[in-house]
Amino acid sequence: MDFLKTRIHCAAVTALLILSASSCRDEAEIYRPDENQTGTAQRIPLTGFYLLNEGNMGSNKASLDRYTFADAIYSRNIYADANPDVPKELGDVGNDLAVYGSRLWAVINCSNKVEVLDLKTARRIGQVDIPNCRYIAFDGPYAYVTSYAGPVEINPDYRQRGFVARIDTLTLQETARTTVGYQPDGIAIAGGKIYVANSGGYMVPNYENTVSVIDAATMEFEKNIEIAINLDKIAAAPDGRLWVSSRGDYFDTPSQLFVCDPASGETVRTFDSPVSSMWLDGDSLYTVSSSFNYYTGNTEHSFAVFNTRTLEKECDNFITDGSGSKIKTPYGVAVNPVTKEIYVCDATTYVNPGMLYCFSPDGKLKWSQRTGDIPAKIAFY
Amino acid sequence: MTKRLLRGIAAGILYILPSTAAVAAVEGDSCQTDSTATTLMELTVNGSQWKSEVVAPQVLGGEELTRLNAHSVADAVRYFAGVQLKDYGGVGGVKTLDIRSMGSNHMGVFYDGLPLGNAQNGQIDLGKFSLDNIEEISLYNAQKSAIFQPARDFASSGSIYIRSRRPRFEEGRRVAGGVTFRTGSFGLANPSARLDWKISPSVSATANAEYTYATGKYKFRYSKRLPSGEMAWDTTAVRRNGDLHALRLEAGVFGYIPSGSWMAKVYYYDSERGIPGAIVNNVWKNSQRQWDRNFFAQGQFRKEIGRKAELMVNAKYARDHMRYLNPDTTLMLIDNSFMQQELYLSATGRYSLFSWWDIAAAADWQYNTLDSDMTMFVYPRRHQLLASIATALNYGDFRARASMLLTEVMDRTYPHETRGTSRRLHRFTPAVFLAWTPSGRNLPEIRAFWKKAFRMPTFNDLYYTDIGNADLHPEGTQQFDLGATWRLETASNPLMLEISADAYHNRVTDKIIAVPKGTGQYRWMMMNIGKVRINGLDLSSTSLWNLPAGISGRLRLSYTFQQARDYSDPSDCLDEAGTYKGQIAYIPVHSGSVAAGLHWRGAELNYSWIYAGERWDNSSNIEVNHVQPWYTSDLSIAYSLPLWTGDIRLTLEINNLADQQYEVIRNYPMPGRNYKIIASWTF
């Protein structure tokens, strides 16, 4: 009897010792990129593209992927490998990405910074601290960044306007700041004017409904153009007209797309077509969306193309082979300026790694590729 | 001396043996006025004689609880098998319990027999319950497998019962009490006092007050290495905005009547805390704050009617106020207050049809309201009617319990009905427990259970402005368990050994998960999209040892294996980053604990070790989602010496002895090595 007891107990203690011996923590290593071949190698006058994954708020999982055309290699999560000395990697919520000159600019929203990287190596050149920064656009020697975190108004109904910061692309110093509307998001520059789509997203249900106009030379605020509530993305077409998307309010007002003549301030065309992300390629505006409505409880997807010259919807669904049903949450779109291939980012469930789908110009699926969490923005170089 | 030692061992057996301690929970629940008498009574009720519960809970109580270097209920429950504590770190950080990977919303938490509610978000922060006034914590898988209990006790997928200290008096005394002071790392200053008063031979009262202040500051370190082994980066910082100010006041009256008992108590908790937040690139400090004011009053009355029937009535009123402030001018300003109220009434009856067959029925009514100053708020009100019938059969070595619970829920919102209109649903949830306890001394007791349960979507899930989704269904669980317990008691070493093993399979359906609404992640909503299947194994053992030189020892071991897999999206299985069949977030496959203690006269040495294996923060089990295993060792020495009519006790605790830098939740660093000194005097 005693023998049995002792045996049982010895077994338990031994099991625990084994558990403790095998439980060693590995020294945490920097993330290594995952590389794999996807699609086929292409000889084109472009090196490739970078893709910015947002990562969820608080997860610190904003990440950068890269695709190179010459060898068709997709490299996932390359930032830490290129910048092993940066504590806590790229940061929290990557919101915008752009190539300008020989540099890659990444707007990292919840890390309150704009990260400036060398285009070839993705090595960090510097960072510009801008609280709650959102989107970026370039003109001449400057980068312009929208931010929600403008001056605090002393007001019982606390409200805080946003601003546009002007950054010298050589010194990476902020040289001017202009207050705009509430919670400014998308930014576009055309004809010496900066256009900012104000959302008012912090003021539900009293959303903003304007585009702010700033004179780029003087950084003086000029006027607000009323368009619709909860504005989001903005693009200036070659003819100078503004294409602005609204998120709607998820109840009675759906997400829509507007065309605005900035000189007169008139909305010249309205499309009942929801937009999550847009990409202007020549005269074609590609849009994707995944829009939710509270009444129906449904989320609807769309993949539409608009002609910015004729102001007509060119096509309702640029995916022609039915493979759009694979895409769970269309979240970003980009068009290869050379091959005109279309890339669609799929945020899937938002908490899991997303997917990138590549379509031929005539809308046939060419390849798909796993990305980081919430793939959102693509920049070609 | 010998007598004292024996009593110590007796108390040890009482608190370590799960089933025996459960006897204390059942038999001595209402009132314990004389510790010696109670101890003797409990010791006589042992093993197979005890008939109330078929599946014994895991119990931590009395002396063992004080020896665990645990500050709050949350710290203590980590020693149970089958549970995972979600700990955001620090004195004031949120700590919620997840039982057998079904999610913390499925955990019922009962304080002195009545449920603690949080209709707003369904989560009970166990870090808010200091152990200062707690004498026992019991963890039940599925439900307490007794039949004489309120309908609410049948409703959760797992339950934890927290029992506050009952008044106790030495022979011939009418007053008892104590004062304690704790200090140490994190700028902790934590005084508490307790007074027990015997009003009459059958009525006694107790009052308890505690104040906790902590700066919550601690150093933490993040570092990464290059593949070559060289340091890539290495940063040490101080955790800020984790301060806590909390006042707790509690008072209770406990009385006996002929063949019955009653109790009434009030509880008040008032706190202000910083929310230290996630540490991410370029943001090493946050400024969000939270204020909580919790009040409840509750009462219980139970009486046997004749020799065959018994009646119990419970009532509770709770009022919880919470204010959340985000003063960070770079973010959205949020300053919202929420007020929840709960009214709960319950009546339970039991009748013995035969000596081997009991039946019971219970009816509960619960009313919850939530008010807030948020814009577009819909002021939800929820009525819940719970009715249960249960039966207990004891036939020789065989015991069975079965219950059926009917839950009726009706939600209303104001000033207008939300989309999805007023919610009305009713569900039946059954449970069956079987046990076979062979009379032969050395055979194991075998048990099995099956239970279905669900949780209602919380008010936040359904109605939170701009996030809630009124179309949600309840989230369901189903549990199957097969287990055995071996118990050996002898005069030689070990004096007592108990080994318990359970294998189980759980399913969670319609799991409620937050997903963004489509145009950016600032607008989330809740969806019923999750499916989880869990295969698990819980092993635990406790033993008592009589060592040379008058030293007594005890050892408690637990091990948990959990394969908790995400079955939500069968199409997401194309590559290694796919989520289909991935281990769900923050559930380690392997986890375990050791708690060992040596006791010699007035001196004690305690050591404990907790281990959580590698985890992922997402069902996509890839490297970027990998979270390192962690294990911490805690050590304490204590010395007690008699003073006047009581004891003075000094304790020195060293926690996280190896100074491990770890995270339970990604980006929420936990404290490294820390110290605590406790001085207490009881009289």
Residue-wise pLDDT tens digits, B501-515? 999 999 999 988 776
Q: Chain A closest CA to B394's CA: distance in Å?
A: 30
| Sheet with strand A133-139: strands edge to edge | A133-139, A142-147, A161-168, A174-182
Q: 3-state class of B224 per DSSP? A: strand
| Sheet with strand A312-315: strands edge to edge | A277-281, A284-292, A299-307, A312-315
Pair of tokens at residue A205: 């249900």
Kindly give, in sequence order, each residue whose CB lies less than 8 Å from that of residue A154, ignoring residues fewer than 6 positions away: none
Burial of B61 (0-12, 13-18, 19+ CB in 10 A): buried
**What's the mean pLDDT in A102-124?**
97
**What's the mean pLDDT in B657-664?**
94
Q: Which of A133-137, A146-150, A348-352, B153-157 has the lowest mean pLDDT?
A: A348-352
List B residues 554-573 in contact with A (Cβ-Cβ < 8 A).
Answer: 557, 559, 569, 572
The answer to whether the CB atoms of A9 and B590 lie below 8 A apart is no
pLDDT tier, A156 (very low <50, low <70, confident <90, very high otherwise): low
Q: Could you give the dihedral angle defined by the CA atoms of residues A321, A350, A354 and B628, in that order, rounded to the nearest 10 degrees?
A: -160
Task: Please check the confidence at residue B186 and state whether its pLDDT lies above 80.
Answer: yes
Residue-wise pLDDT tens digits, B431-454? 999 999 887 767 899 999 999 999
For chain B, the straight-line distance linking the first and the last C-alpha, in angstroms and rounded, comes to 20
**What's the mean pLDDT in B266-277?**
94
- List the CATH number of the domain containing A58: 2.130.10.10
The answer to whether the CB atoms of A5 and B497 lie below 8 A apart is yes
* Interface with A, mutate which of B281, B336, B574 (most A CBs under 10 A): B281
Q: 3-state class of B339 per DSSP? A: strand
Nearest to B494 among A5, A30, A112 (CB): A5
Q: Chain A closest CA to B467's CA: distance in Å?
A: 10
**What's the mean pLDDT in B599-603?**
91
User: CA nearest A379: which of A15, A43, A50, A120?
Assistant: A50
Outline where DSSP puts E strands in B16-94. 58-61, 83-87
List B residues 405-464 in contact with A (Cβ-Cβ < 8 A).
Answer: 419, 442
A201 contact B CB<8A:
yes
Whether A355 and A348 have beta carbons less than 8 Å apart is answered as yes
Does A153 fall in a domain? yes
Whether A285 and A308 have beta carbons less than 8 Å apart is answered as yes
pLDDT at B10: 37
User: CA nearest B671: which of B223, B280, B270, B90?
Assistant: B90
User: CA nearest B467: which of B514, B417, B420, B529?
Assistant: B514
Task: Please check the confidence at residue A201 and state whether its pLDDT lies above 70.
Answer: yes
Task: Please check the confidence at residue B30 and state whether its pLDDT lies above 80.
Answer: no
User: CA nearest B670: which of B681, B680, B682, B655?
Assistant: B655
Q: Chain A closest CA to B61's CA: distance in Å?
A: 23
Q: Which domain holds residue A250?
A: 6-35+49-64+81-274+293-300+309-318+371-380
pLDDT tier, A313 (very low <50, low <70, confident <90, very high otherwise): very high
Q: Which of A196-200, B61-65, B311-315, B585-589 has the lowest mean pLDDT?
A: B61-65
List B residues 307-366 in contact with A (Cβ-Cβ < 8 A).
Answer: 329-333
For residue B108, CA distances in Å to B21, B234, B492, B506 come to: 20, 42, 40, 17
Whether A65 and A76 have beta carbons less than 8 Å apart is answered as yes
pLDDT at A250: 76
Q: Are strands A34-37 and A73-76 parallel, antiparallel or unpaired?
A: antiparallel
Q: Which domain holds residue B431?
A: 2-417+426-682
Q: Chain A closest CA to B511's CA: distance in Å?
A: 14
C-alpha span between B408 and B391 (Å, rounded): 21
pLDDT at B321: 96
Q: Can you tell me which residue has the tokens 């829509």?
A: A256
Task: Please check the confidence at residue B23 and state whether its pLDDT lies above 80.
Answer: no
Count how many domains chain A has: 1
Residue-wise pLDDT tens digits, B349-384? 999 999 899 999 999 999 999 999 988 888 999 999
C-alpha span between B320 and B339 (Å, rounded): 6
Task: Please check the confidence at residue B520 and state whether its pLDDT lies above 60.
Answer: no
Count how many domains chain B has: 1
- List the CATH number of the domain containing B178: 2.40.170.20
pLDDT tier, B32 (very low <50, low <70, confident <90, very high otherwise): very low
The answer to whether the CB atoms of A30 and B226 lie below 8 A apart is yes
C-alpha span between B223 and B552 (Å, rounded): 43
pLDDT tier, A10 (very low <50, low <70, confident <90, very high otherwise): low
**What's the mean pLDDT in A286-305?**
82
Whether B193 and B211 have beta carbons less than 8 Å apart is answered as no
The answer to whether the CB atoms of B543 and A129 lie below 8 A apart is no
Q: Chain B closest CA to A45's CA: distance in Å?
A: 32
Pair of tokens at residue B316: 């509770």
Rg of the Cα atoms in chain B: 25
C-alpha span between B153 and B147 (Å, rounded): 10
Q: Chain B closest CA to A219's CA: distance in Å?
A: 22
Does A97 fall in a domain? yes
The answer to whether the CB atoms of A370 and B471 lie below 8 A apart is no
* Interface with A, mutate which of B512, B519, B664 (most A CBs under 10 A): B519
Pair of tokens at residue B507: 């399913």
The amino acid sitting at B603 is A
Whether B655 and B623 have beta carbons less than 8 Å apart is answered as no
**Closest residue of B to A3, CA-based?**
B493
User: CA nearest B466: which of A206, A289, A294?
Assistant: A294
C-alpha span between A182 and A147 (Å, rounded): 10
pLDDT tier, B93 (very low <50, low <70, confident <90, very high otherwise): confident
Task: Please check the confidence at residue B56 and state whether its pLDDT lies above 90.
Answer: no
DSSP states of B562-587 as a string? EEEEE-S-TT--SSTT--TTEEPTT-
Q: What is the pTM of this model?
A: 0.90
Residue-wise pLDDT tens digits, B99-153? 999 988 899 999 999 999 888 888 889 988 989 899 999 999 999 988 999 999 9
Q: Which of B80-94, B357-371, B651-665 has the lowest mean pLDDT?
A: B80-94
Strand partners, A254: none
Q: 3-state class of B273 per DSSP? A: strand
Could you tell me how many residues make up chain B? Answer: 683
Whether B16 and B61 have beta carbons less than 8 Å apart is answered as no
Kindly give, in sequence order, each residue whose CB lies less than 8 Å from that of residue A3, ignoring residues fewer than 6 positions away: none
User: CA nearest A344: which of A352, A329, A282?
Assistant: A329
The mean pLDDT of chain A is: 91
The mean pLDDT of chain B is: 87
List A residues 317-356 in contact with B (Cβ-Cβ < 8 A).
Answer: 329, 347-353
**Closest residue of A to B490, CA-based?**
A2
C-alpha span between B42 and A250 (Å, rounded): 61
